[in-house]
Amino acid sequence: MNAFLQSSWGYDDSRVWQVQAILKTPVDGISKVVILVGDKTGKQKPSVLQFFGLPDSKHIIAGDDVIAFGEHPFADNRALLVQRADGPYKGSASKDLELVEFADFQCPHCKDAQANMEKLAVDFPKARIVFQNYPLASIHPAAMTAAKYATCVAKLGGSNDFFQFASAVFEGQEGLSTADGATLTLNSAVTKVGLDPAKIAACAATPETAATVEASVKLAKDLNVNQTPVLMVNGRQIPLGGVPYETIKEIVAFQAKLDGATAQ
């Protein structure tokens, strides 16, 4: 239990906790765990956290979520990402420290998160930073088309062209709000990286491109990513919206240390 909590919370030097109780429940194999959480200064009033351990000893129910449990709770997600995160990347070819961003080009929070992603690239030059398309098509009508264009830019121009294209699309995100505006915005971004909009559009219309985007969406769902933007740090999920950069940086450095990865 303490190893799990250390893996989950150890990045925060000010946080302290104590396992108050592990209790049986009326359901065979399910235990109720009570944790007292406070800070080292003692200035904050301690809070009580409760979750339920499941019979497989590999998962817990915390709030509305079922999450991985154990001494290395992010190992399965990390293995899945090493195998299937195949988006364009910057930084190291090594996957020792892999930061995988799941984002939607029409998501305002994803646009805002790009500044932090650029800071991470500077602060962790040994990291491999991967972009995975996760278009939320039901609420962002242009997101799927943008993801397909991005996939084709990466395919025909490589990762460097992709990140330039992505920056241009996020910068002109308001243009994605209408069908005509989306076409102009995407074609303009393609032109900025020196590629042919007609070739990218033809590539985007193919079943192969659709399959690539759908595979990225499926990866996100298999990892229980249910919002954008999300960063996976060696399998550890961090919602990027509203999290201060210094906290993100602390988590990345902590996870790298846990995994024995060179971060800088």
User: Where are any strands of DSSP class E within the chain?
Assistant: 15-24, 31-39, 47-53, 59-62, 65-68, 89-91, 98-103, 128-133, 230-233, 236-239
For 215, the token pair is 């595979």
Tens digits of residue pLDDT in 99-146: 999 999 999 999 999 999 999 999 999 999 999 999 999 999 999 999
Q: Report the alpha-carbon distance of residue 73 to residue 70 in Å, rounded.
A: 5
Mention every residue, 6+ apart, whose C-beta is less than 8 A from residue 207. none
The yes/no answer on whether domain 76-258 falls in CATH 3.40.30.10 is yes
Task: Please give the helix or strand (H or E) that residue 208 lies within, else none.
Answer: helix 207-222
* DSSP-derived secondary structure for 82-99: HHH--S-EEE-S--SSEE
121, 263 contact by CB (below 8 A): no
pLDDT at 74: 96
pLDDT at 134: 98
Q: Report the alpha-carbon distance of residue 190 to residue 187 in Å, rounded.
A: 5
100, 36 contact by CB (below 8 A): no
Please list the ranges in the chain whose pLDDT falls under 50. none
Mention every residue, 6+ apart, whose C-beta is less than 8 A from residue 193. 153, 157, 161, 164, 165, 168
Whether the full predicted model's pTM is greater than 0.85, yes or no, is yes
pLDDT at 262: 84
